Amino acid sequence: MILNSDKLDVIDYVILASIKNGVKKYTSIFKNCKKTNVEKFREHVNELEDMNLITIDSNESWLTRNTNPSIILKKDGIKFIEENISKVQEQWDLLMKDFEKTS
């Protein structure tokens, strides 16, 4: 599957960068997506799932999967990040710089 990185926007890259850097809980990733409402965030997560880049960790309990699931990279997601590491890292660096300003 060839994925066009131009189809993704900043929110998608922040989600992928968060997961790559160990932030896997749904609510924690959402907090990284400043200026995004819940519905829009959910749309982005669903689109990334539809693109076969991420999935909900099925090893967690039903309650956790349905309240604050961990989101993990699928094989295509790992490959996408490796191929687009500069864009993913750039969004992570911007996020960390913004975090440092607010701390």
The CATH number of whichever domain residue 25 belongs to comes to 1.10.10.10
pLDDT at 10 over 50: yes
pLDDT computed for residue 34 by the predictor: 82
d(CA 90, CA 95): 9
Structural domain of 46: 7-102
User: Is residue 2 domain-resident?
Assistant: no
Give the pLDDT confidence of 23-49 residue by residue, as tens digits: 999 999 999 888 889 999 999 999 999
In a domain, 11, yes or no: yes
| 1 within domain boundaries | no
- Calculate the dihedral angle through the C-alpha atoms of 58, 64, 65, 67, rounding to the nearest 10 degrees: -170
Number of domains in the chain: 1
Alpha helix stretches (DSSP H) within 1-103: 10-20, 26-32, 38-50, 62-67, 75-83, 85-102
pLDDT level of residue 1 (50, 70, 90 thresholds): very low
Tens digits of residue pLDDT in 53-88: 999 999 999 999 999 999 999 999 999 999 998 888
Asked, for residue 28, whether it belongs to a domain, the answer is yes
Q: What is the pTM of this model?
A: 0.86
